[in-house]
Amino acid sequence: MKHLLDINSLNNEQILEIMNLASRFELLGFVPKLLNKKPTVAFLFFENSTRTKFSFELAAKNLNYNTLDFNFNTSSLSKGEDFFDTLNNLSAIGADIIVVRSSDDFIYEYSKKKYPYRLSFVNAGSGVGSHPTQALLDFYTIQKHLGSVYNKKIVIVGDIKHSRVAKSNIELLNRVGAKVVCVAPKCFQDENIKNVQFEEDLFLNTQNADVVMALRIQKERIEEEIDYLEYIENYQINEGNFNTDAILMHPGPVNWGVELSKELQFAKCSKIILEQAHNGTFVRMAILNLIVKGIYGSHC
């Protein structure tokens, strides 16, 4: 595995390998093998992040890798340096893996360029289109609770249109045989997403769900006025409409009182949301470790 750009670029064996390795890291931790060089991971986050950034950083540190934290404002990009030059210089200094989050999809273009030194890219969320590591950690979390996801009904609720988490989850969960249903008002549906059923009625569609995954309204990507009261009335998940036999998930950050009711914050069913964050470290350890295996031919 050279890069991790999106779910479609992973084959089934790689997905399985990530799941198995993540579970090994969770159960047994990491026993480092001697490598000729200590791998270095640079984090280039051009959008805010709490869970993704820190779990990637902790994952790299747990694996005994060097970490470099890039900050636009204190970097030479803010002096007008070209982004390609920045990447070339980071790799010349010693970075092996660039973990990128950005509001557009430039990771695809830059991962195709030729660098004097070998450079791998990992997508930590790009634009509205893809967030593969979130989908992989969600899949890992669902499997821990349900065993197989085959034929399980997974209902994704909310702003599907602007959510990269939704897109990557739909790709991955469809691939592994889950029945994915998206529940959203018309304005948050996306006709470009194929192979998924869109529904408007929350109650009807969540009652027999195995998993209910709520999403934050991506207000930073929406120009029109959002009618929050109408959204809350029709699409908020609360104690009245949530079937407690289902698993409640959310990639975070949660806006309690909007997509999930304030009461749910302290309910038992919400503890899986923190489990997602917890599992993210192991899944990201597995991803970084498989890329390092590709670079140095050895891993744990």
Nearest-approach distance from CB 34 to ligand NCD, in angstroms: 34
Q: Is 130 in the site for ligand NCD (CB under 6 A)?
A: no
Q: Is 131 in the site for ligand NCD (CB under 6 A)?
A: yes
Which residue among 123, 134, 141, 236 contacts ligand NCD (CB under 6 A)?
134
Q: Which residue is nearest to ligand NCD (CB)?
A: 216
Closest alpha carbon to 131 in 20, 236, 216: 216
Which residue among 165, 214, 269, 288 contacts ligand NCD (CB under 6 A)?
165
Q: Is 132 in the site for ligand NCD (CB under 6 A)?
A: no
Q: Is 51 in the site for ligand NCD (CB under 6 A)?
A: yes
Give the binding-site size for ligand NCD (rule: CB under 6 A).
10
Closest alpha carbon to 103 in 170, 24, 162: 162
Nearest-approach distance from CB 74 to ligand NCD, in angstroms: 22
Q: Are strands 97-102 and 40-45 parallel, antiparallel or unpaired?
A: parallel
CA distances from 235 to 155, 217, 231, 232 (A): 12, 11, 5, 5
Q: If you compute the radius of gyration of the chain from its CA atoms, what whole number of angstroms results?
A: 19
Q: Is 216 in the site for ligand NCD (CB under 6 A)?
A: yes
Q: Is 53 in the site for ligand NCD (CB under 6 A)?
A: no
Is the CB of 131 or the CB of 299 nearer to ligand NCD?
131
Distance CA 237, CA 56 (A): 29
CB atoms within 10 A of CB 78: 10
Structure tokens at 219: 């207000």
CA distances from 232 to 29, 170, 215, 242, 257 (A): 42, 24, 13, 14, 8
**185: cis peptide before it, omega within 30°?**
no
Q: Is 86 in the site for ligand NCD (CB under 6 A)?
A: no
Nearest-approach distance from CB 215 to ligand NCD, in angstroms: 6
Q: Is 164 in the site for ligand NCD (CB under 6 A)?
A: yes
Q: Is 129 in the site for ligand NCD (CB under 6 A)?
A: no
C-beta separation of 130 from 168 below 8 A: yes
Q: Is 160 in the site for ligand NCD (CB under 6 A)?
A: no
Q: Is 251 in the site for ligand NCD (CB under 6 A)?
A: yes
Q: Is 125 in the site for ligand NCD (CB under 6 A)?
A: yes
Binding interface with ligand NCD (CB under 6 A):
51-52, 125, 131, 134, 164-165, 216, 251-252
